[in-house]
């Protein structure tokens, strides 16, 4: 059985990255976290976005689509979830960037709309400063803030339907053993 999920993790991260690129200063690179053998960006400021925990917010809502031909009939389960993305901001003005992102998250999509309506900001937790040792063992500023999003996902699976049923009766009592 194949299942199609929309938006998937790569679409969610692409939307979050697009939003961050729109609100952060030009030239700030935004990369995905937890990639092996990838050097840190060279610019003075950059952001690292790491996916975190996905939690359900409600029970799924199920719908069915019985269309012709039968191969396109489907079952759609709509899920409302909360996703935590960890945003790390590096560089000399990381504190200001963290406050900017947290503030725009609090104001919602009116000032900084999201590219996908299925992905909407809930809130950002307070930014926290933490030490970071770079490859040359030098201290750099790092500001971390969890971004919480509401994700409205749809899981679509193939579903068989019976348009016409013709029952056949079998008398059990008259059958010989």
Number of domain units in the chain = 1
The parent domain of residue 107 ranges over 3-51+82-148
Burial (CB < 10 A; 0-12, 13-18, 19+), residue 16, is buried
Q: Is 27 helix (H, G, I), strand (E, B) or coil?
A: coil
Asked if residue 107 is part of any domain, the answer here is yes
Report how far residue 160's alpha carbon sits from residue 96's, in angstroms, rounded to the nearest whole number.
Answer: 55
Asked if residue 173 is part of any domain, the answer here is no
Asked if residue 158 is part of any domain, the answer here is no
Count CB atoms within 10 A of the CB of residue 125: 14
Asked if residue 68 is part of any domain, the answer here is no
**Helices (DSSP H) in 6-129: which residue ranges?**
9-23, 94-107
Asked if residue 77 is part of any domain, the answer here is no
Asked if residue 72 is part of any domain, the answer here is no
Q: What's the CATH code of the domain at 120?
A: 3.30.2000
Asked if residue 157 is part of any domain, the answer here is no
pTM of the predicted model as reported, rounded to 2 decimal places: 0.82
**pLDDT tens for the 177 residues of the chain, in order:** 788 999 999 999 999 999 999 999 999 999 999 877 778 788 888 999 999 999 999 999 999 988 766 567 889 999 999 999 999 999 888 999 999 999 988 787 777 788 888 999 999 999 999 877 777 777 778 999 999 999 999 999 988 877 788 889 888 776 565
Nearest to 31 by CA among 86, 94, 71, 84: 86
Rg over alpha carbons for the chain, rounded to the nearest Å, is 24
CA 92 → CA 24, 54, 71, 119, distances in Å?
Answer: 14, 32, 56, 30
Place of tokens 């560089």: 91
Place of tokens 């019976």: 162
Count CB atoms within 10 A of the CB of residue 78: 15
Report how far residue 108's alpha carbon sits from residue 103's, in angstroms, rounded to the nearest whole number.
Answer: 9
């Amino acid at each position: 059985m194949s299942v199609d999920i929309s938006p998937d993790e790569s679409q969610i991260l692409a939307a979050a990255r697009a939003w961050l690129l729109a609100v952060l200063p030009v030239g700030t690179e935004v990369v995905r976290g937890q990639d092996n053998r990838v050097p840190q960006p060279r610019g003075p400021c950059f952001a690292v976005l790491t996916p975190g925990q996905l939690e359900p917010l409600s029970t799924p809502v199920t719908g069915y689509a019985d269309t012709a031909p039968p191969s396109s009939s489907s079952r759609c389960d709509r899920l409302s979830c909360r996703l935590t993305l960890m945003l790390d901001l590096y560089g000399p003005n990381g504190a200001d960037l963290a406050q900017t992102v947290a503030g725009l998250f609090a104001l919602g999509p009116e000032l900084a709309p999201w590219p996908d309506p299925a992905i909407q900001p809930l809130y950002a937790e307070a930014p926290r400063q933490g030490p970071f040792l770079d490859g040359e063992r030098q201290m750099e500023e790092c500001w971390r803030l969890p971004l919480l999003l509401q994700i409205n996902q749809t899981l679509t699976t193939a579903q068989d339907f019976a348009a016409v049923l013709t029952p056949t009766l079998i008398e059990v009592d008259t059958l010989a053993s």
